[in-house]
Chains A and B, each alone.
Chain A
Amino acid sequence: MKWTADLEQFPYPFKGSTYRYSNNSIPMHKPISVEVTSDYKKEMLLKRNLLTYHPERCYQSLPHTMTGQWEIVELVIDHLAAHYPNQFSVEKRNTIWIFSNKILDDKIEFVFGDEKSLPCEPLAFISHHVQEDLILMMQRDGDLYLDAGQLCFPANWSLAFNLGMKFKSIHHPIPGFKEEGLDDRILQFLMRLEAGNPWERKNWSLMAGDRLDTSLETFDQWGQLRKQVTKENAGKLVHIRVEVQKLFRLPRTNSILFTIHTHLLPLEQLAANSEWLQQFYDILSELPSHIADYKGISLYKDAVLDYLEKQLERVRAT
């Protein structure tokens, strides 16, 4: 999936000339859980195929999550109808809802709160209408648990494995995350989230190739491209992968909706902005090896740096 919109719209993730793990969440200016981009149709086709043919890796839920799932349906549908009225609408007659997705020409009538009125679980249903991955974290016993989720575009992790896991256990594989106390600080931050005050953050990595569906389950396939990166092809082959993550407290269940919108940009497009080019070169040059390893960059980091250097020379020469 290539970036087709204006470059200025790309959610460029960096500040400063170095990068370290941090809680870089900020209060959301425009409190909307999902965003409809120019790639909507293309990405929805991909998502719906993944949900149909790979349900085990793309959708998981525990039985006690139904009320939270309905809260997500309500929040997302209300946001779609309010922010994209020409593309989405909802008619509510008491508990009977008629949701229209005009982009995909879908009209669904269901009874809000009644799972039997939908062909699948509520979270799975709404997942068929948004580009974002949707994760439900339920709060109990002073902790957050990943109790339901729809994940079509993961950055090399497994929803099936992580289901039911506590927040800190989910992040256990990140080097330094626990040792620096970051897992505890972020958990405390999340547990203080309030309904009506959503937050957002950006996360990034590099990847060889332009697949959105980089699941852990298929890593043996898509990971092969990491071995094919050279300084000559890095501009086209390597992409910066940015996740715009949004956090909403759901008041009824006191759980948290975590939405992840993934964007890919080939390095040659990033390099077209000379400020970004210099900044990203500085960041990648200085990036500690444990972060590069975890983000899956180490194998081709030098090739990317060579490519970026060449682009910088080109900029200096003009």
Chain B
Amino acid sequence: MKNEAVFINGKRKYIFCGDDQGLKLLSSVMEKVNEEGLTHERFLLSDFKMSLLEDFLKSQKMGTFLYVALPSSELQQFLKAVEDIGFSDEDVQYIGYGEEKFSVFCCRCHEINTSNNEQKRLYCHRCGLELEVSDHYSAMHDAFLGYVAKL
């Protein structure tokens, strides 16, 4: 996940999807794509259009590059859906805004806790251990490892 969209050259087609605020964050890349006359589509996201978006993405051809810009707290649900449709990590850029929440794996009991950017330490809500959030990330758990904060 990035804070800013980056233009990736040489793609067959570009898709920009997000809510109103998200599409604003993609505007500079959209301008670049417009200037160069590259094939692209915009998709304004709202809750009732999720199934439509999935159908739309499934119909895309190989070589399509996808930008998704949404509140950070909502991005996670899109990651799995987009991956299941067949987009690889190299084909997508996720841009998050607003408060970012992420998961923390308790090293003692394996519970997944929720934290935000400001919290470097938290108590596991299952076993009560004080955890220090590390930058060791597991894609399978979609969580950062929380170590014993103090002996």
Contact = CB atoms under 8 A, between A and B. Distances in A.
Interface stretch (B15-23, B24-32, B114-122, B132-140): B132-140
Nearest to A227: B151
Given A220-B151, A224-B151, A226-B151, A163 B134 contact: no
B145 interface: yes
A158 interface: yes
Interface in B76-128: 105, 107-110
Interface of A: 56-57, 158, 160-165, 169, 172-173, 216-220, 223-224, 226-227
B110 A162 contact: no
B129 interface: yes
Contacts of A160: 110
B148 A161 contact: no
B142 to A, nearest CB: 11
B140 A219 contact: no
Contact of B139 (A164, A173, A217): A164
Nearest to B129: A220
Given A172-B136, A173-B134, A161 B141 contact: yes
A56 B111 CA distance: 12
Contact of A217 (B107, B134, B138): B107
A186 B53 CA distance: 42
Contact of A164 (B107, B109, B134, B140): B140
10 contacts: A161-B107, A161-B136, A165-B139, A165-B140, A173-B136, A216-B147, A217-B107, A218-B108, A219-B148, A223-B151
B151 A217 contact: no
A220 B148 contact: yes
Query: Main SS of chain A's interface residues?
Result: helix
A161 B138 contact: yes
A227 to B, nearest CB: 6
Given A164-B138, A172-B136, A227-B151, A220 B110 contact: no
Contacts of A161: 105, 107, 110, 136, 138, 141, 145
Contacts of A216: 107, 147
Contacts of B110: 56-57, 160-161, 217
A161 B141 CA distance: 7
Contacts of B137: 169, 172
**Which 10 pairs of residues, A with B, have the shortest CB-CB distance?**
A164-B140, A216-B107, A220-B148, A223-B151, A173-B136, A219-B148, A160-B110, A172-B136, A217-B108, A161-B145
Contacts of B107: 158, 161, 216-217, 219
B148 A223 contact: yes
Nearest to B145: A161
B119 to A, nearest CB: 19
Nearest to A171: B136
A163 B140 contact: yes
Nearest to A226: B151
A160 B135 CA distance: 17
A219 B147 CA distance: 9
Nearest to B143: A161
A213 to B, nearest CB: 14
Given A161-B138, A162-B138, A219-B147, 16 more contacts: A56-B110, A161-B110, A161-B136, A163-B140, A165-B138, A172-B137, A216-B107, A216-B147, A217-B107, A218-B108, A219-B108, A220-B108, A220-B148, A224-B151, A226-B151, A227-B151
A231 B136 CA distance: 34
Contacts of A158: 107, 145
Nearest to A223: B151
B34 to A, nearest CB: 34
Nearest to B141: A161
Nearest to B106: A217
Nearest to B140: A164
A190 B108 CA distance: 31
Contacts of B108: 217-220
Contacts of B145: 158, 161
A169 to B, nearest CB: 7
B105 to A, nearest CB: 6
Contacts of B105: 161
Contacts of B135: 172
A164 B147 CA distance: 19
Contacts of B136: 161, 169, 172-173
